[in-house]
Amino acid sequence: MTPELISSLKQFAPEGVIISGLVFLFIMDAILPSSRESRLPLFVVLFSCILGALVTIGVIPTEASSLFSGVIQSDGVTTFFRLLFFFSCAGGTLLAYETKVLDRDSLSEFSLLILCVTFGMCLMASATNVLMLYIGIETVSIISFVMAGLKRDDARSNEASLKYLIFGAVASAIMIYGFSLIYGVTGSLNYGDIAKALIEGGGEPKWAILLSMVMVYVGLAYKISAFPLHFWTPDVYEGAPTPVTAFFSIAPKAAGFGAAIRFFLCVLSTPGEAGVWTPMALGHGAWTQAIAVLSVLTMLVGNLSAIGQKNVKRILAYSSVAHVGYLLMGFVSANAFGVTAVLFYLVAYCLMNLGAFWVVGLVADRKKSEDLEAFKGVGWEDPFLGVTMAIFLFSLTGIPMFSGFVGKFLLFSNVVQTPGFLWLAVIGVLNSVVSLFYYANILKAMWLDKPDTVVEAPVSSVHRIALAVLAIPTMVLGLYFEPILKVTQSLVATFR
């Protein structure tokens, strides 16, 4: 054990906790078959997440350091994403706790898989090596295919996993081919060396670099469901069991953004003074211009397709595509403020989107359907569900006083401060207005329409507490956001 390995392992301890949880689940499943019928595996996942979060806080790095010979990097951004992943993993697990959509005996599988995905996401968000990024993405993808099809005898769940599989496999194959071209051009796998070789080569050969970056974008866009790789999102979100969908809609997306932040800023930019990067030219202009156009297309496609949908999970799926469009706006400035805006929006998005899917899951458990019809009058049947859903949807729209507004404000002001991108901010604001239409549609069904049949099914206190835990920060962060913003800023400050 060299000193470098020991210090690397120390910084890698949170992932170590997750791996220990995984091994423990495997062993428990083997020697204690009765645990399959109980909820014990879910508690193991929750415990691992809490312990992992505590260990993460214990090893917060004060400066960026490369671990395991530069394969992954430990810095504030790594810490941020670890905490976000552990939180959303715990959220998805709690949502599965009393759900009726999953069989009891598939809960132990769910626990194993969600923990494994969490580990893969940690690798994705901290990778500074092309091979590590590929392994992280594939760990997340391959397990996600299984999770989408967890309801084995349900044709819709199976179809979701088949579609997820085919698009995912193609996207990752295209991405690894792009990586092979980068390797051929620069002769290296580490981000730092690739960036150095790209600068020394003067961006030649142009076509090979452009082609490889387009191919890498295809892989990343599939993970964050950005245009043009967004079309799997509604199908998979609709078909997958709701706890899985709630998890999918936040965590792997955040991991994709973690990978994108590192790739765009460490490979495709040259660092200037602290917190400022110069974007490299790619094709006819800097890559930030391409990202701006893709961001517009992503939010347009998401918002316009969401209008007129009948299934609430589908509406939320298209809305999540639109939110990826907003998030991509954070990259056009290529500076630390943009990264901070993206991270803050991810926090707000994580809370409100998990909450919205949570309510959908509870309503679907009660009415056996996720169509808008099923939401009729839910606000009067159970005002708690109605009020929390209203909070989440208002926040998703970006109405002032909710966390979504602060997040959007940061993203838009970041764009406005970047010369030449004012049009992007204008389109972003117009898109937020469009999104109000379909969010209001859900609220109208919940509060203004009369239910066809009244179903009496009380929501258990676990779900009430969890929804309150998600709804209260969604409101508080809309007014009192400085502490979280300060923490995010200080974490981003260590990012190089």
Partner 1 sequence: MSGLASGLDWLTGLHGYLAVAASLFVLGAVAVISRKNAIGVLLGVELMLNAAGLNFVIFSKYRTAAIDGQIVALFIIFIAAAEAAVALAIILRFYRLKHSMDASEANLLRD
Positions that interact with partner 1 (CB under 8 A): 130-131, 134-135, 138, 142, 145-146, 149, 152-153, 155-156, 158-163, 165-166, 169-170, 173-174, 176-177, 179-181, 183-184, 187-189, 234-235, 238-239, 305, 309, 314
Report the nearest approach of partner 1 to the CB of residue 187 (Å): 4
Please name which of 487, 489, 341, 350 lies closest in space to residue 416, comparing C-alpha atoms: 341
- Site of tokens 């998703």: 396
Nearer to partner 1 by C-beta: 239 or 256? Answer: 239
The 10 Å Cβ neighbour count of residue 450 is 8
Report the nearest approach of partner 1 to the CB of residue 178 (Å): 8
Nearer to partner 1 by C-beta: 165 or 255? Answer: 165
Please name which of 437, 357, 306 lies closest in space to residue 96, comparing C-alpha atoms: 357
Report the nearest approach of partner 1 to the CB of residue 266 (Å): 18
Please name which of 334, 332, 201, 198 lies closest in space to residue 265, comparing C-alpha atoms: 334
Nearer to partner 1 by C-beta: 122 or 218? Answer: 218
286 φ/ψ angles, rounded to the nearest 5 degrees: -70, 155
C-alpha radius of gyration, the chain, whole number = 22
Alpha carbon 179 to its chain centroid, in Å, reads 23
Report the nearest approach of partner 1 to the CB of residue 158 (Å): 5
Is residue 342 within 8 A of residue 331, CB to CB? The reply is: yes
Report the nearest approach of partner 1 to the CB of residue 59 (Å): 28
Rounded Cα distance, 205 and 461, in Å: 61
Nearer to partner 1 by C-beta: 146 or 393? Answer: 146
Is residue 469 within 8 A of residue 462, CB to CB? The reply is: no
Report the nearest approach of partner 1 to the CB of residue 417 (Å): 38
Nearer to partner 1 by C-beta: 36 or 163? Answer: 163
Rounded Cα distance, 383 and 269, in Å: 50
Please name which of 209, 50, 67, 202 lies closest in space to residue 129, comparing C-alpha atoms: 67
Report the nearest approach of partner 1 to the CB of residue 239 (Å): 5
Specify the 3-state DSSP secondary structure of 59.
coil
Partners of 66 in beta bridges = 73
Nearer to partner 1 by C-beta: 305 or 441? Answer: 305
Nearer to partner 1 by C-beta: 166 or 433? Answer: 166
271 φ/ψ angles, rounded to the nearest 5 degrees: -70, 135
